[in-house]
């Protein structure tokens, strides 16, 4: 039976194969999403860099071991997870930034629509149409 962690402090064969296959699948999945135009280029760059770094670290076992030793992580497999987790944090920060920007833009657009609607009603000299009735939320309070 193949050891999960080799005695020399490197990735075991099964873990390395799993990491390589997982990183390669992620890389090709992101490329496919870009090809189908379901993922924008700015996000694709982040995902491609993350998957490429994970793939390089999975293939180049000595680099991963050196990184683990440098940071003080005993097991190289754990260092691979730490690197992956770091990329997830960067992606979450990027998405939070985008959501904040879109929220501000949405608020400004809603204000502009309200202002234009008000101007249109004033210029026409007609009374405003009655507001539609609010429907009850299906979610119980």
Residues 6+ apart with CB under 8 A from 27: 48, 51, 52, 55
pTM for the whole thing?
0.63
Separation of alpha carbons 137 and 135, rounded Å: 6
DSSP for 77-128 reads: HHHHHHHHHHHHHHHHHHHHHHHHHHHHHHHHHHHHHHHHHHHHHHHHTPPP
pLDDT tens sequence across 40-84: 888 899 899 989 998 998 898 889 899 999 999 998 889 988 998
Per the prediction, the chain carries an average pLDDT of 84
Would you kindly state where each structural domain of the chain is located, as residue ranges? 13-95
Instruction: Provide CB contacts within 8 A for 55, sequence distance 6+.
Output: 20, 23, 24, 27
DSSP character for 51?
H
């Amino acid at each position: 039976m193949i050891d999960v962690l080799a005695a020399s402090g490197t990735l075991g064969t099964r873990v390395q194969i799993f990491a390589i296959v997982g990183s390669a699948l992620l890389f090709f999945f992101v490329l496919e999403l870009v090809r189908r135009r379901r993922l924008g280029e700015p996000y694709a760059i982040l995902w491609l860099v993350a998957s490429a770094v994970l793939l390089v670290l999975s293939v180049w076992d000595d680099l991963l071991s050196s990184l683990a030793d440098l940071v003080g992580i005993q097991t190289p497999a754990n260092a691979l997870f730490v690197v992956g987790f770091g990329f997830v944090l960067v992606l979450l920060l990027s998405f939070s930034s985008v959501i904040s920007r879109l929220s501000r833009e949405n608020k400004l657009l809603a204000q502009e629509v309200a202002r234009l609607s008000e101007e249109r009603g004033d210029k026409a000299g007609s009374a405003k149409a009655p507001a539609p009735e609010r429907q009850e939320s299906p979610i119980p309070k």
